[in-house]
Structure 1
Amino acid sequence: MVDDTRATHTPEALALQSYLDTTASPLGSALKQLPLIRLGIDEVELAALPLTTEATTGSQRIHAIHPPGLTLTVDVESDQARQVLVYQLTMAQAEDMSGPRLHDFCPLQLALDGTLVPDPVIHTWRGGAMQTFFPPDAITPQRHVLYPRTPAYYQDGHLSLGTHGGRSSDQYMPYLLITTADDSSGVWCAIGWSGHWSAHFVKPRGTSDLQLTVQIEPCDLQLPAGTKLQGPSIALGLYKGDAAAGYNSMRSWLRSRMPALPTSDLSHFNTWTALDANVNEALLLEAIDRVADHGLRYFMLDAGWYPCLRDNFSAGVGNWRVDEEKFPHGLEVVAEHARTRGMEMGLWFEPERAHLSSELAQQHPDWLLRVPDREYALVNFALPAVRTYFREVIGNMVRRLELRWLKWDFNMDPLPYWQQVADGGLAHLGHIAGLWDTFDWIRTTFPDLVIENCASGGNRLDWTLFSRAHVNFANDQYTQPDCIRRILGRMGAFLPSERLNMIYGPFQRRSYEDAAWQVLMGSTFGVSEPIDNWTEDFSTSLRHHLAIHNATDAPRGGTFYRLTPDTADLRAWEGWQMHEPDTGTGAFVLWRSAAPQAQFNVSLHNIDEAQNYVISDLYHTTAHTVTGKQLANGLEVSLLPDAATICTYHPILGEETSENYRYRGDSSALA
């Protein structure tokens, strides 16, 4: 129902306290009341304009009109059950006039009273860039306290973070957590912007307060007549409990925004790095025959299917047609053969980048943003003609090949191109709006299509794009299992694990041990092993581990807990737990790696100590009955060096006994 009553409001209409119950969290009472959004309009602030509201069920729409034809609208969603607030600013300029100067766009500002919540802890994560070393920097958790135990004295305390090159998670993840010093409550923030952003924490000199400002740069522009642009969509959540409770609150909320999956089975073979860009009809038909009958649902053809050099897939981006020399019968024969062998076809695109020699660049130079002396251009998705073109190109390929998986990649930093055009941020804001619009069109037009979001791996994982895709590629480090498990074990703490994608391989002819395969527990199951390496032993191992992965499918949709500290030392045990709160079931995974200790005491979370549980060791096909008190206080697990184990658990209900689950004759990691 819409409430047509409109009234003039003060800036409190833009305050968090108007939508969330701040008494529901101890930290909430320390949040100062101030406008969430700051935007300069000529010499006026957004919050200083007359504001009107219209209420709908579960949401508010706040309007402000500036005399030169500019309409500003803030859409606010309030989820009282979750204590989550989501809001977004839209700017629209009238058709018959140019707008006023817009500047200093800060889609979020918060302030905590340091006398009520002294020494709040700021939790952040490094971004998703790929490294070839261990331990990887990617997704490293960080804790910061500005000037602990004292007001800022000589100068303000500062902490700044954001993107490096304009992809939303290339340097820092666009997710933040602020907790009380005693870790009893907090507020989380998800910055929904797929471009360049920065966040600035300040402890002002002479105070114990903490201020947070998120800024979109550049922003100093006038909207052309008839222009409509959206800003970031910011999500804030209040919670009680420790930091893990905050991570899981954010994780659960983000899961609620995800599109429904066409199928729960996302297991797949990806041609990269199994074949790299060296693909042709004969090689792909052979690959399909080799990987079929392993239980993998999708055959994903990655880069190289268009005209490009066999050793340089990037040189052909912008040639969005099938290479007739590589595929004389088109890709239809490949897609049909995949379906005949029981798999669905997928295809890779990189629409936002074009090589200057490509057909797109030659035919549509006005669609490109360029930087001198660079051989690649940014395709300007702010232009309606660009979006129309890719709707036709992508739509045609999906229909012709009956595609069921589409991978959208982005392997360049866009920020230098937005800076080069020097339009005050119009290209930046317009590109992100066009990107979101295109993802929305693909998803609604092809509901049976799995959309994968990728940007050199995990470099664009903001929630607004993450939730527009079905799966999101976690990181381009997919050859070293120690690195993969470290990245997924960090990322799964605050992002829905079942929506993270990973391909594993090649491990370059080294044997796949249990500990290596288990890294995929924290994501979908993807394989990219070179075809020559698919021996009978490898095939048997793949089928076995895919079955184990499927046995842990349900817990990935629940809560997540690290069981060990995040450490750079391979001589330490590592593990995490995934728990299904509604049923009390779950799974945990442990790696010993090079740890000298043969045993580890694992204490699980969310266990009912009054219950008895069945613990099933999936690798050793054994089961044991234990008390809930044992699980909560510490269960001893023994492993050989470089070994790992996955165990599931569930409470014993009714007439059920442990004998239903006990397998005789095999050893177990469980003591």
Structure 2
Amino acid sequence: MIRNTIHTFRSKCRALVCSLLTLAVFPQFVSGQAKSAMTDKPFDVTRWIETHFAKGKIPPFSFVYDGKPSRELLKKWKYTAARVESDEPEAVEYLYTYLDRSTGLQVECRVKGFTDFDAVEWVLNFKNDSQANSASISQVKVVDLDFEYPQKGNFILHYADGSHVSKHDFHQRTKVLAPGDSLYMAPQGGRSSQVAFPFFNIESPAGQGVMVAVGWTGTWFADIAGKTDRSVTLASGMKYLDTYLYPQESIRTPSICLLFWKGDDRMVGHNRFRRFVMAHHTPKVDGKPAHFPESSSFNYGDPSPCNEYTCLTADYAIALIRRYKQFDIVPEVFWLDAGWYSQAADYKNHKNWANTVGNWTVDREKFPDGLKPVSDEAHKVGAKFMVWFEPERVIKGSQWAEEHPEWMLDAGTDAYLFDLGNPKALEWFCDQIGELIEQNGIDYYRQDFNMEPDIFWQKNDEPGRTGIREIRHIEGLYAFWDYLRQRFPGLLVDNCASGGRRIDLEATSRSAPMWRTDYNYGEPVGYQCHTYGLEMYLPQHGTGVQKTDKFTFRSSLGTSVVYNWKITNGSSSFYEIQDCMKEFREVRPYFYEDYYPLTGSGDITGDNIWMAYQLYRPSDKSGFVVAFRREACPDKTHTVKLSGLDPDAVYSVTNKDTGETVSKSGRELAEGFVLTLDQPRSSLLLKYQAE
């Protein structure tokens, strides 16, 4: 039954995978460095797609085939266009194909436009529809185009760091793109948000811009350049791809998303994009975008010197759940992290959670009846149960490595990379993890990935087929995640990857990073910085917290959080824990709405500054200001300017710590509102509401 499910799913997935892509734009443009004039006319998604993918037009992508550029080839190839029925009422879909009759190479581009967000997205598929190997396909740019605007001036690129275990993770960056200036971005190690970040905003001098997102959970690139004082060039695709295709073989590329915006403030684009992601690129449960949970762990690392959960037992886990219930601090999810599987607690042989992955059987000494009794206890108190896995990294000598050496990719390290690009291996992989989830009553699936896969892909590519291993692995990863969510419709996927190193549009469509960085655990200033930057693009992400003081706890506010309370520690107060959880649940809904940074986009990592941001819910004209005066900051006051408010409305602004309330007009709040904190290393939480 499972095998049939996977086969059925795989056929559906081939069609689905082609349609998960984005491109939206106010300008009219064509590719191949062609110019396109920007106008003030209302944007029409359908007209834009039909015009710019029309017969005879050079489409907004490019590649080189057999040494020849696509702009020369496509005009000679057979062209077809078809409107495709969309499963979303706000979307229009088209399928465009370009066929080289002489060699049988077919390029398929599925384009999807979103009328509710003026957005368009696409992905390319190459297929060799012949009985001989194709010529080489290289330099594939999924998007390759110039944008030209009516006003002269410099373009400003707003982008961010990826995750690299630092206070600067997701830090905002700005680059002015005068004519001749450029920026090239690409992640390191084969994980999509390691160092570089595949989301950015190109602001034009014309009060318009474009939000860009790359969908590829591997190695992508983006090249943005100022061309003239009115135009900018954008190119993006897969970094390493130079391959021929076997007869009847096909491959997919990264996807691209462009969402165009107009306004005096570039945050119009950021907030529009955040809402777009929630509406169209967030996993759905019962037809609605899923909200990722607040979780509690099982006394992380308890007792010392145990690491993660290598010493946890079923009895202890059940007792902890009952203790959470006793003090009315039950979370939405109980989170079991690494160390529950065989050999993870074998200290005599220097085994631990990290060097035993690949032994995916429950440790029966610690959990005699499996994890199901723990899951059952979580369900009794009204919570879900989430469990950590890391199935792609397989330690040499582990169970999986010994049983199936033919499915292991080797690069000379202490671990193998499981070959998700092998269809038989993928089917077995799906069965194994699916059965563990079902047998142990697991509600949510947490997937880690503590390795850099690019070297495994490169060392195992066949001569002349650079990039194939990467493509097949990423295709397999998406098929696996889609399989899990089809088999378990309510299941959510937490995507960790050494803390936030696999964040991109395709991953976001299937998962969320509930542990967004492995930076110094519990250090609040870094956590404030991570929230400040990552909220510019994505509302769904989380981090951990283990202290209840307001400065630390508020540093971890968001849509998701992991409470690592030490509830067996005598210094812990369940009253403080209750207060923290109540505050989190009050503020949390606002993180799904509009977000505004209030203290600039420069270096916000210092200990001698204020840092503040604003959350706003337009539907009822309410929101929060979250602010921090850091340890070495000498200033008791700091002035901020709120955004998005009705200038003529009057707002009650309440200090959630003191209860003090003042009334201010929206105009006054926008012109400047003074924040006051008498003590360093302190925080403010202000609720404002239109009267």
Normalising by the smaller structure, the TM-score range is 0.7 to 0.9
Contact 2:154 2:205 in 1 (8 A): yes
From 313, 320, 327, give the equivalent of 2:367: 327
Code of the aligned partner of 1:584:
K
User: How many angstroms apart in 2 are the aligned matches of 1:285 and 1:521?
Assistant: 28
Code of the aligned partner of 2:331:
L
Deviations 1:158-179 (A, max 9, x none): 4222111110000110012211
Counterpart of 1:142? 173
From 94, 99, 109, give the equivalent of 1:60: 94
From 492, 505, 508, give the equivalent of 1:466: 508
Identity within the alignment, %:
24
User: How many angstroms apart in 1 are the aligned matches of 2:460 and 2:152?
Assistant: 44
Q: Does residue 634 of structure 1 match 2:633?
A: no
Q: Does residue 605 of structure 1 match 2:643?
A: yes
Counterpart of 1:125? 160
Structure 2 counterpart SS, 1:456:
helix
Give the Å deviation of 1:116: 5.1
Deviations 1:403-445 (A, max 9, x none): 2211111111111111111331111111111111111111222
Deviations 1:191-219 (A, max 9, x none): 11110012223456x99854332231321
Over 3 Å counting, the alpha-carbon distance change for 1:571 and 1:17 in structure 2 is same
Q: Does residue 111 of structure 1 match 2:146?
A: yes
After TM superposition, list the pairs within 5 Å mapping 1:572-591 onto structure 2: 572-591=609-628
From 389, 392, 417, give the equivalent of 2:456: 417
Counterpart of 1:451? 493
User: How many angstroms apart in 2 are the aligned matches of 1:531 and 1:219?
Assistant: 51
After TM superposition, list the pairs within 5 Å mapping 1:266-665 onto structure 2: 266-271=293-298, 273-275=300-302, 276-278=308-310, 279-292=312-325, 293-310=328-345, 312-372=352-412, 374-423=413-462, 424-469=466-511, 472-477=514-519, 478-496=521-539, 499-505=540-546, 512-533=548-569, 535-537=571-573, 539-566=574-601, 567-594=604-631, 595-639=633-677, 640-652=679-691
From 2, 14, 23, give the equivalent of 2:39: 23
Q: TM-score, normalised by structure 1?
A: 0.85
* Structure 2 unmatched runs, 5+: 1-27, 86-91, 303-307, 346-350
User: How many angstroms apart in 2 are the aligned matches of 1:86 and 1:96?
Assistant: 32
Deviations 1:272-314 (A, max 9, x none): 8444132232332333233333031211111111123336312
Give the Å deviation of 1:369: 1.3
User: How many angstroms apart in 2 are the aligned matches of 1:479 and 1:536?
Assistant: 16
User: How many angstroms apart in 2 are the aligned matches of 1:231 and 1:420?
Assistant: 20
More deviation, 448-457/46-55 = 46-55
Counterpart of 1:246? 269
Over 3 Å counting, the alpha-carbon distance change for 1:651 and 1:159 in structure 2 is same
Structure 2 counterpart SS, 1:144:
strand
Give the Å deviation of 1:130: 1.6
* Structure 1 unmatched runs, 5+: 1-11, 653-671
From 239, 249, 269, give the equivalent of 1:217: 239
User: How many angstroms apart in 2 are the aligned matches of 1:429 and 1:220?
Assistant: 12
Over 3 Å counting, the alpha-carbon distance change for 1:397 and 1:90 in structure 2 is same
More deviation, 381-390/347-356 = 381-390
Over 3 Å counting, the alpha-carbon distance change for 1:272 and 1:391 in structure 2 is farther
Code of the aligned partner of 2:612:
G
Q: Does residue 40 of structure 1 match 2:64?
A: yes
Deviations 1:125-181 (A, max 9, x none): 1111223xxxx12112111124x4xx54xxxx4422211111000011001221124
Contact 2:84 2:94 in 1 (8 A): yes
Contact 2:595 2:615 in 1 (8 A): yes
Counterpart of 2:3? none
Contact 1:125 1:139 in 2 (8 A): yes
Give the Å deviation of 1:532: 3.7
Over 3 Å counting, the alpha-carbon distance change for 1:222 and 1:515 in structure 2 is same
From 206, 214, 217, give the equivalent of 1:194: 217
Over 3 Å counting, the alpha-carbon distance change for 1:270 and 1:17 in structure 2 is farther
Contact 1:27 1:185 in 2 (8 A): no
Counterpart of 1:236? 258
Give the Å deviation of 1:334: 1.6
User: How many angstroms apart in 2 are the aligned matches of 1:13 and 1:54?
Assistant: 21
The aligned length equals: 616
Contact 2:309 2:336 in 1 (8 A): no
Give the Å deviation of 1:245: 1.7
Give the Å deviation of 1:249: 2.3
RMSD: 2.9
User: How many angstroms apart in 1 are the aligned matches of 2:396 and 2:452?
Assistant: 16
User: How many angstroms apart in 1 are the aligned matches of 2:357 and 2:130?
Assistant: 36
User: How many angstroms apart in 2 are the aligned matches of 1:189 and 1:580?
Assistant: 24
Contact 2:98 2:107 in 1 (8 A): yes
Q: Does residue 163 of structure 1 match 2:187?
A: yes
Give the Å deviation of 1:608: 1.0
User: How many angstroms apart in 1 are the aligned matches of 2:592 and 2:467?
Assistant: 38
Give the Å deviation of 1:367: 1.1
Counterpart of 1:661? none
From 179, 187, 208, give the equivalent of 2:203: 179
Code of the aligned partner of 1:481:
P
Contact 2:98 2:108 in 1 (8 A): yes
User: How many angstroms apart in 2 are the aligned matches of 1:602 and 1:202?
Assistant: 33
User: How many angstroms apart in 2 are the aligned matches of 1:348 and 1:218?
Assistant: 31
Give the Å deviation of 1:393: 1.9
Contact 2:409 2:460 in 1 (8 A): yes
Contact 1:25 1:240 in 2 (8 A): no
Give the Å deviation of 1:96: 4.6
Contact 1:198 1:214 in 2 (8 A): yes
User: How many angstroms apart in 2 are the aligned matches of 1:409 and 1:386?
Assistant: 19
Structure 2 counterpart SS, 1:502:
strand
User: How many angstroms apart in 2 are the aligned matches of 1:266 and 1:335?
Assistant: 16
User: How many angstroms apart in 2 are the aligned matches of 1:34 and 1:572?
Assistant: 51
Structure 1 counterpart SS, 2:400:
helix
Over 3 Å counting, the alpha-carbon distance change for 1:519 and 1:568 in structure 2 is closer
Contact 1:89 1:232 in 2 (8 A): yes
